[in-house]
């Protein structure tokens, strides 16, 4: 099987010849390739080469293309800082008052150069690998996350209990921007798409608030991706135990989950219903742990998902640029060996 075929099998719930591996590694790939984050986000060809060389070095099954966590926010007008060697970050709220939602103008995110750079990276990587590797084009933030950036996280969290209908108008505005990103990404030839919606998790809001303010919009993104004939992955950081049943209602093809969500809960809630991508601790285990720690964590997951094909090995979130190469290699070796032994 090719890497792409392994990922497709896991997403469809059929057994691949080996357990597929997909790493959330954009910062690490840039560092290994000698790029600062500024160089990575500014030069699509260099960024594409960073991803290609990393995937080929470890013979991974997928290329997970991410750039920053607030590109869509910048495209709709949120103030953004672009550090030399860190991911971009929001530097201020766009909507000082919720009433400012009434004055939002329609936006075409394709005019943003960082969106275009992101898309070009995906095009270049897909052109290089063809059908050999699965190319996952992340589409930045989901509507709830984007709304929290536009309004400012604290302000947005205080808005939610108010019942003000402008909250939903803001979410719909954000939904349109997210639709645009998925539509643009579908034109690059990628094999699957995804969004992150971490502020929508139980670490930030209640499960009921999740159902009201995040779930409907996540569901709409899945539908949009499926209309483009692309499988979809939803990523939420933190402990998602309390909302896993609700997340299943999105009909996502895959969930990328954090190590903070108990593996037994994931298996009992999601087994054979959705493909799980993750869930190793990217910092405590992958970046700061020993190769033995990596082996233990990988084997624990492989044992837990032993009787279902719906599992793709990954860290639970983005790998730090300081992640040692020996830890990446050990993760790959253990995963491959386990499949061969089973």
- Neighbouring CB atoms inside 10 A of 121's CB total 29
Structural domains counted in the chain: 1
Q: Among 314, 338, 275, 229, which Cα is nearest to 13's? A: 275
Which pLDDT belongs to residue 339?
A: 62
Can you read off the two tokens belonging to residue 238? 């933190």
**pTM of the full predicted structure?**
0.96
| Domain boundaries, position 292 | 3-341
Give the Cα separation of 335 and 19 in Å (integer): 7
pLDDT confidence of residue 163:
87
β-pairing verdict for 80-81 and 89-90: antiparallel
Enter the tokens of residue 27.
């910062």
Q: Are 180 and 108 in contact (CB under 8 A)?
A: yes
User: Among 213, 201, 209, which Cα is nearest to 174's?
Assistant: 213
Low-confidence stretches of the chain (pLDDT < 50) are: 341-342
Q: Which residues contact 71 (CB under 8 A, 6 or more apart)?
A: 88, 112, 114, 115, 118, 140
195 touches 146 (CB < 8 A): no
Beta bridge partners of residue 256, listed in sequence order? 235, 277
Report the CATH number at residue 196.
Answer: 3.20.20.210
Give the CA distances from residue 303 to residues 15, 32, 62, 261, in Å, rounded to whole numbers and listed in that order. Answer: 15, 31, 22, 16
């Amino acid at each position: 099987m090719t890497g792409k075929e392994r990922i497709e099998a896991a997403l469809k719930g059929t057994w691949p010849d080996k357990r597929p591996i997909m790493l959330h590694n954009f910062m690490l790939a840039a560092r290994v390739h000698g790029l600062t984050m500024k160089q990575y986000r500014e030069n699509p060809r260099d960024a594409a080469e960073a991803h290609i060389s990393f995937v080929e070095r470890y013979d991974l099954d997928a290329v997970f293309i991410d750039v920053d966590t607030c590109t869509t926010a910048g495209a709709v007008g949120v103030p953004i800082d672009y550090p030399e060697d860190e991911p971009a970050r929001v530097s201020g709220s766009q909507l000082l008052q919720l009433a400012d939602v009434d004055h939002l103008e329609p936006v075409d995110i394709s005019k943003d150069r960082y969106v275009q750079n992101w898309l070009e990276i995906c095009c270049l990587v897909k052109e290089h690998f063809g059908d050999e590797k699965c190319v996952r084009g992340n589409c930045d933030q989901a509507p709830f996350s984007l709304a929290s950036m536009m309004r400012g996280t604290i302000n947005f969290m205080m808005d939610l209990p108010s019942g003000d209908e402008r909250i939903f108008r803001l979410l719909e505005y954000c939904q349109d921007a997210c639709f645009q990103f998925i539509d643009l990404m579908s034109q690059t030839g990628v094999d699957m798409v995804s969004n992150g919606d971490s502020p929508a998790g139980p670490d930030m809001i209640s499960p009921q608030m999740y159902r009201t303010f995040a779930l409907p919009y996540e569901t709409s993104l899945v539908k949009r991706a499926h209309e483009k004939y692309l499988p979809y992955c939803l990523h939420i950081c933190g402990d998602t135990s309390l909302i896993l049943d609700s997340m299943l209602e999105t009909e996502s093809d895959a969930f990328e989950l954090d190590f903070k969500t108990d593996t037994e809960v994931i298996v009992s809630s999601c087994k054979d219903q959705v493909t799980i991508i993750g869930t190793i601790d990217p910092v405590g285990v992958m970046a700061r742990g020993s190769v033995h720690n990596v082996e233990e964590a990988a084997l624990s997951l492989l044992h837990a998902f032993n009787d279902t094909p719906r599992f793709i090995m990954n860290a639970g979130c983005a790998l730090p640029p300081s992640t040692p190469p020996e830890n990446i290699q050990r993760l790959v070796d253990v995963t491959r060996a386990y499949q061969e032994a089973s």
